[in-house]
Structure 1
Amino acid sequence: MEIEAAAADSGASELEVVVFPWLAFGHMIPYLELSKRLAARGNAVSFVSTPRNLARLPPVPVQLSAHLRFVPLPLPAMEGLPEGAESTADVLPDKMGLLKKAMDGLAEPFAAFLADAVAAGRRPDWIILDFCHHWVLLLPIADQHKVPCALFQILHAAIAAFLGPQWANAAHPRMEPEDFTVPPKWIPFPCTTFFLRHEAQWVASAFHANASGVSDMDRLWHIWERCRLTIHRSCEELEPQMFSLLSDLFRRPAIPAGILLPAVPDDHDEDHINSRSGCVSRPKVLRWLDDQPPNSVIYVALGSEAPLTLQNIHELALGLELAGVRFHWALRKPAGTSTGNDDELLPAGFEERTRLRGLVCTGWVPQVKALAHGATGAFLTDCGWGSTIESFAFGLPLVMLPFIIDTPMIARAMAKRGIGVEVARDDSDGSFERDGLAVAVRRVMVEDEGKLFATNAKKLKELVVDEGRQEQYIHELEDHLRRNKDV
């Protein structure tokens, strides 16, 4: 359904909502999708971020301009961060703690913005914030003006259940990585919500303070204990039983917002993004796909947060070569590499050997359009929740190569649904080899088993990508926000 057509005149007065995501595009984009849907229903939405991040967001439909405004708050300079760094895309992985510390410096300007809004007669009905904004509730910026807060979690809901509230962790302490290799005792039903040994170090580190001086879990626990409700980018069809469990665990409503599937961008949107990225032109990518047979290409993209090394890239490249299938690879240069020449990212001679059946793009790629293209038959992904959701829209089977955060859990959940296979990894360190990657790609793209994966992926599309049902989730969320803003 077009966003412009989603507006509903319920006769109720509009909500005033402030939306404030973490400084990562994997967070800002779904926060923007939620903002657009609320604005399309006649509510006033203020989207808060830093100036450079706002300039890099895709444009919104002009019909929403009266209801959706963007509020820039300059990010304080932080020693150790590159000049002009305002998002996770601008910093190395080991600087994330400093970026969080810099964002903590937005407390004073955000408080001033909120005070000005109240003074102008626009006191927000809600602040929808992210996992790292504990200071909105602790200082207390929101309470000073009697504005309730909701936490919008852009990860799949199962990770919240796995992390659990502070009281559950106190009752069942988890201190070592091995403690995270089994589902927690507070999940009462069979699930894939656990980490393998080589994956568990990330989640264990979330319980320890980083360079910001505060652990990610302390940030989350402060918000979970003080916000009025939680909102999740998911739905009952994908995660049955999970929202009632979360409501019980965190002792506040857990509301699914639906999958917030982005629309396939039109040419104007892509020209806007491309003109700011200075990257690969859209026509080159799509023209190449136009020349390939239907369902013959595997689209390869490992997101913006996967900690890829040059060795990972080389094994992936050689695995694609061994698989012998057509591929379109959106290759992101690993953060911190000294490689100045894009050719040096790939094994010697790889592009020449595969040029008749493969395309490697090291700049911006219109991912949704690439997934939507008729030549695309499967998706090799790190299973970031946003990319996984995008794959649902087109019924694509998956080859899964997860790395951090919730991606391993998502990969296991999708494998359980029978829509793809995970690349084999070494149990001790999580490394993968070209042979294992080639096997996984051929299972999905070449062997008869791939037909079953494709059939199951299309069934999942029919179940989840129901415009009426997804719009109903937004309607129910809006209704909940209206009924509970003054409680």
Structure 2
Amino acid sequence: MEEEAAAPIAAGKLKVVLFPWLAFGHLIPFLELAKRLAARGHAVSFLSTPRNIARLPPVPPRLSSLITLVSLPAPKVDGLPDGAESTADVQPEMNELIKKAVDGLASPFAAFLSNSPAMIAFFGPRDARGPSPTWEDFTAPPAWCGGPSSSFPSAVAYRRHEAEWIATVFRPNVSGVSDLDRTWATIERSRLVIFRSCEELDPGAFTLLTDIFQKPVVPAGILFQPEFSDDDDKPEERPEVLRWLDDQPPKSVIYVALGSEAPLTAHNLRELALGLDQAGVQFLWAFRKPAGMCAPDADVDTLLPAGFTERAVASGRGLVRTGWVPQTLVLAHAAVGAFLTHCGWGSTVECLAFGHPMVMLPFVVDQPLIARTMAMRGHRRRGGEG
């Protein structure tokens, strides 16, 4: 497939191809990486499927000559609904079909990529756990993650209900390949591995992973650049959520967002709403409907306790917003004092960049490990301060 011609590249600059996993928790950070590279004069081709490309935030005009968005035709997969091109478009149990669709986009872009170096360190190299590990294998830290310099405190591991789920990533799914085989194949065929993290967030992880995989494993930093947003250049287009925050006292609002991939249910959403109601806190909720569980035009109020949204708006205590919310700008706002998060890696590093306390509600994948690691590090910091 031919892509649009890019602007001439200056001598000594790179041509970089980025092809993130089809989930917005990966697409958005990879787009930020593309902006960082382009700002340094490198040309970037960002590959995804047409619907995902269309849903990305706009590239700042000053960088558009160096970033080429390339649409790869979305393959047809039996059982995958029309228009489903990311994990945000399907129920969690259909994610395996998204992986099969990725395979249809052709090698060498059929690799499953992970953002969290801690989880990769926990899984270890291909031959570390045997061909068919059971849930018991994940309820304690592995031997190679021990030691005072490790990014894994001794108490951080999966609970049983989490471990039963995580063991499935070692087994082939409907695509014919397991998630971990994809990850290992990607690492084994690479000259080096780059993770969205830094030594401060994952102390010891890069040394540990370099030793495990016998090749350089380096940090990319948190890939967080709020100044790339065009919102400040157009005050008249300032998003409604930021204008609402402008009217709230400093550090008074808890921001609630559970990412694009957490397997939410209607029960989760109702319980969370009841908790916010009973806590009596000011809140901004970036609301996401459970994927595939309701019609696209379903009213938010039908998923929440009766009168919840009306009471929040009438009292001025809360705002429930569907659709895109500029998360980094929200977290940067002076009115925000805490973040209720699913502990996806992207949301975690963005929260830490602004120093907010986290109310942690992990669901799957690396989220439980991230939550426990952050809780233990936070406990040690408070102990050191006291």
Q: Bin the TM-score by the shorter chain.
A: 0.7 to 0.9
Instruction: Report if aligned partners of 1:30, 1:154 keep a CA contact under 8 Å in 2.
Output: no
Residue 127 of structure 2: SS of its match in structure 1? helix
Unaligned ranges ≥5, structure 1 = 1-8, 112-128, 133-152, 272-280, 421-451, 457-487
Residue 393 of structure 1: SS of its match in structure 2? helix
Larger mean CA deviation between 303-312 and 61-70 belongs to 61-70
Is the aligned partner of 1:380 residue 2:343?
no
Other-structure match for 2:357: 397
Instruction: Report if aligned partners of 1:327, 1:358 keep a CA contact under 8 Å in 2.
Output: yes
Instruction: Report if aligned partners of 2:232, 2:238 keep a CA contact under 8 Å in 1.
Output: no
Q: Find the aligned partners of 1:259 and 1:284 in 2 and give their Cα distance.
A: 27
Other-structure match for 1:177: 135
Return the offset for 1:51.
1.8
Alignment of structure 1 residues 80-229 onto 2, 5 Å: 80-107=79-106, 131-132=111-112, 154-170=114-130, 175-189=133-147, 191-192=152-153, 193-229=156-192
Equivalent position amino acid for 1:301 in 2: A
Deviations 1:388-446 (A, max 9, x none): 111123221110001111111111121122279xxxxxxxxxxxxxxxxxxxxxxxxxx
Other-structure match for 1:444: none
Alignment of structure 1 residues 230-241 onto 2, 5 Å: 230-241=193-204
The verdict on how the C-alpha distance between 1:314 and 1:20 changes in structure 2, with shifts beyond 3 A counting, is: same
Instruction: Report if aligned partners of 1:285, 1:365 keep a CA contact under 8 Å in 2.
Output: yes
Question: Across the two proteins, how many residue pairs are aligned to each other?
Answer: 366
Q: CA RMSD in A?
A: 2.7
Q: Find the aligned partners of 1:345 and 1:263 in 2 and give their Cα distance.
A: 32
Return the offset for 1:179.
1.5
Is the aligned partner of 1:363 residue 2:323?
yes
Q: 1:417 aligns with which of 364, 370, 377?
A: 377
The verdict on how the C-alpha distance between 1:12 and 1:183 changes in structure 2, with shifts beyond 3 A counting, is: farther
Calculate percent identity across the aligned residue pairs.
60
Other-structure match for 2:205: 242
Return the offset for 1:68.
2.1
Other-structure match for 2:57: 58
Return the offset for 1:249.
0.3
Deviations 1:430-479 (A, max 9, x none): xxxxxxxxxxxxxxxxxxxxxx69x98xxxxxxxxxxxxxxxxxxxxxxx
Other-structure match for 1:18: 17
Q: 2:230 aligns with which of 266, 272, 277?
A: 266
Deviations 1:114-138 (A, max 9, x none): xxxxxxxxxxxxxxx6742xxxxxx
Other-structure match for 2:247: 291
Is the aligned partner of 1:70 residue 2:73?
no
Residue 344 of structure 1: SS of its match in structure 2? helix
Whichever of the two has the greater Rg, that structure is: 1
Unaligned ranges ≥5, structure 2 = 1-8
Return the offset for 1:157.
1.1
Residue 175 of structure 1: SS of its match in structure 2? coil
Return the offset for 1:36.
2.0
Residue 144 of structure 2: SS of its match in structure 1? coil
Return the offset for 1:270.
9.3
Q: Find the aligned partners of 1:410 and 1:417 in 2 and give their Cα distance.
A: 11
The verdict on how the C-alpha distance between 1:294 and 1:400 changes in structure 2, with shifts beyond 3 A counting, is: same
Q: Find the aligned partners of 1:330 and 1:220 in 2 and give their Cα distance.
A: 31
The verdict on how the C-alpha distance between 1:269 and 1:185 changes in structure 2, with shifts beyond 3 A counting, is: farther
Return the offset for 1:39.
2.3
Q: Find the aligned partners of 1:38 and 1:287 in 2 and give their Cα distance.
A: 31
Return the offset for 1:205.
0.8
Q: Find the aligned partners of 2:248 and 2:97 in 1 and give their Cα distance.
A: 45
Higher helix share: 1
TM-score by length of 2: 0.87
The verdict on how the C-alpha distance between 1:362 and 1:75 changes in structure 2, with shifts beyond 3 A counting, is: same
Larger mean CA deviation between 42-51 and 403-412 belongs to 42-51
Q: Find the aligned partners of 1:12 and 1:412 in 2 and give their Cα distance.
A: 46
Q: Find the aligned partners of 2:71 and 2:292 in 1 and give their Cα distance.
A: 29
Return the offset for 1:311.
1.3
The verdict on how the C-alpha distance between 1:84 and 1:352 changes in structure 2, with shifts beyond 3 A counting, is: closer
Return the offset for 1:269.
9.0
Residue 13 of structure 1: SS of its match in structure 2? coil
Return the offset for 1:216.
0.4
